[in-house]
Structure 1
Amino acid sequence: MTTTDPTTSGSDARACASRRCRRAGGSDGLRRRPALPGARLCGSCRRALAADLAALPGLHDDSEEHLILPARQAGLPRVTGHRPQAPPVSEEALQARHDTVVRLAFWARLVLEEAGTAPKPPERTVPALAAFLGRHADVLAALPAAGTAADEIAHASTALRRIVAPPRPALVPLGRCVEPGCEAEVSLPGRGGDDLVLRGPMCGAGHVLTPRQWLLLNQRQQTPRDRRQRTSRDKETA
């Protein structure tokens, strides 16, 4: 009795091993893209792996600027007349940078063991490790654990991108601008933050609302029933 490999299709092609490809294909493993000949990754995931490796040196270098947290973000009180404290370090940035080196070094060691030409080991730096893995991406993509390699390198790239360029908070629409002749939408960051504290609501045309204009906008958004209830409460407290 013969058994069928669940990762192969009717054409006897091995399915891509990357979790990114599995997510794209849904829960049915047979719908995943077939791996390239002699590899464990499909063409799309193989290109994504190469793109992540090419981007990692720059992301790792840029993330160094985010290692030190601003005092207001770290929540440190200002104390005068005392020796300044050591600058607060971003644990998230520190961890992301460390993980990147560890992951790349691990996969570079496996590629060294697998490669028959015995290439020169790279230095333990992100630029050297990423360049080494990029030159030997075909060997990496053919490893039995190529799917895990692609996923870990993608995870390292994503973690550094979040440090270098964190996602902007979602904007909450507040209505049309109160400036005469302006019909642009006024919005606020959904989670507040520094943008709200520093400038307040702003419309798409660039008008920053003053507190008085903000109140006017809020009154404009109220329904007639809201206004009647407010007027009633004002009379009761008068």
Structure 2
Amino acid sequence: MAAPMSSRPLPAQCASSRCRRAARAGVPRRRPAEPDARLCGPCRRTLAADLAALPALHRESEQHLVLPARQGGLARVTGHRPDPPPVSDAALEARHDAVVRLASWARLVLDAAGPAKAPPKRTVPELAAFLGRHVPVLAAHPAAGAAADEIARVAAALRLVVAPPKPDLVPLGRCVEPGCEAEVTLPERGGDDLVLRGPMCGAGHVLTPRQWLLLNRRQSMSEAKETA
């Protein structure tokens, strides 16, 4: 159940952790909160911007629910139903979390504004639009800092799904495919990229386990010659 609106004096400084992080980074102090609010101007505008961006981010994240199929996989056997494509747990969690978190803050706004407000539908576009219209209510609420920080995390999680950082690649040597001289690389951090992709050269050849062993053997022989 949401906390009731407080009659205590509003704090002089912004309640968002963004400002607290800035203070630890060497800024003399957190930015002052706006009049009749618990957030500073930049953090309040960032909250509004995150809410405005969430519908598009949520819509785009749907395209990333299914992970790309591994190249050079096993051939299909006639008469057998193909395995379902792998699903991204990160995308599922980010999309579900967006609905749950936004619905929680929408309920807080409804409790603070009174029963006259009609509740929004439990979808990201409806919830984000509702909260965007009530940013002043959120910014003045005792939980304003938590609201700004949590909605920022929701937006950040969806952005990671839509545009994940590219992993650093470790060079493994030249491709073992006949006539190919492209360099073979492997994701440094492993994870889904390693499981789904495996070692791949710049020309797009995905190495089989046998070819990977051949590459390792060739690399070991080359290093042995250099140290001889």
TM over 0.5: yes
**Shift of residue 31 of structure 1?**
0.6
Structure 1 runs of 4+ off > 6 angstroms? Answer: 27-30
Identity %: 61
Find the partner of 2:35 among 34, 37, 40. 37
Aligned CA-pair RMSD? 3.7
Find the partner of 1:14 among 8, 12, 15. 12
Q: Which deviates the most, 31-40 or 19-28?
A: 19-28
Give the aligned partner of residue 84 of structure 2: 86
Structure 1: distance between partners of 2:48 and 2:30 = 20
> Could you list the runs of 5+ residues in structure 1 that have no partner in the other structure?
1-7, 174-187, 201-226, 234-238
Query: What amino acid does structure 2 have at the position aligned with 1:89?
Result: V
Give the aligned partner of residue 130 of structure 2: 132
TM-score of the pair, normalised by structure 1 = 0.66
Instruction: Considering Cα pairs closer than 8 Å and 6+ residues apart, tell me whether 1 or 2 has the greater RCO.
Output: 2
Structure 1: distance between partners of 2:26 and 2:104 = 31
Find the partner of 2:53 among 40, 51, 55. 55
Query: What amino acid does structure 2 have at the position aligned with 1:45?
Result: C
TM-score of the pair, normalised by structure 2 = 0.69
Structure 2: distance between partners of 1:28 and 1:17 = 18
- How many residue pairs are counted as aligned between the two chains? 186
Give the aligned partner of residue 159 of structure 2: 161
Structure 2: distance between partners of 1:118 and 1:28 = 45
> Could you list the runs of 5+ residues in structure 2 that have no partner in the other structure?
1-8, 172-184, 204-222
Check whether the contact 2:57–2:162 (CA below 8 A) recurs between aligned residues: yes
Structure 2: distance between partners of 1:48 and 1:195 = 39
Q: Which deviates the most, 124-133 or 81-90?
A: 81-90
Check whether the contact 1:69–1:90 (CA below 8 A) recurs between aligned residues: yes
What is the DSSP-based 3-state SS (H/G/I as helix, E as strand, rest coil) of the residue aligned with 1:119? coil
Query: What amino acid does structure 1 have at the position aligned with 2:118?
Result: K
Structure 1: distance between partners of 2:81 and 2:169 = 41
Find the partner of 1:119 among 117, 120, 126. 117
Find the partner of 2:63 among 65, 71, 82. 65
Does residue 197 (structure 1) correspond to residue 213 (structure 2)? The answer is no
From the superposition, tell whether residues 171 and 84 of structure 1 become closer, same or farther in structure 2 (CA, over 3 Å): closer
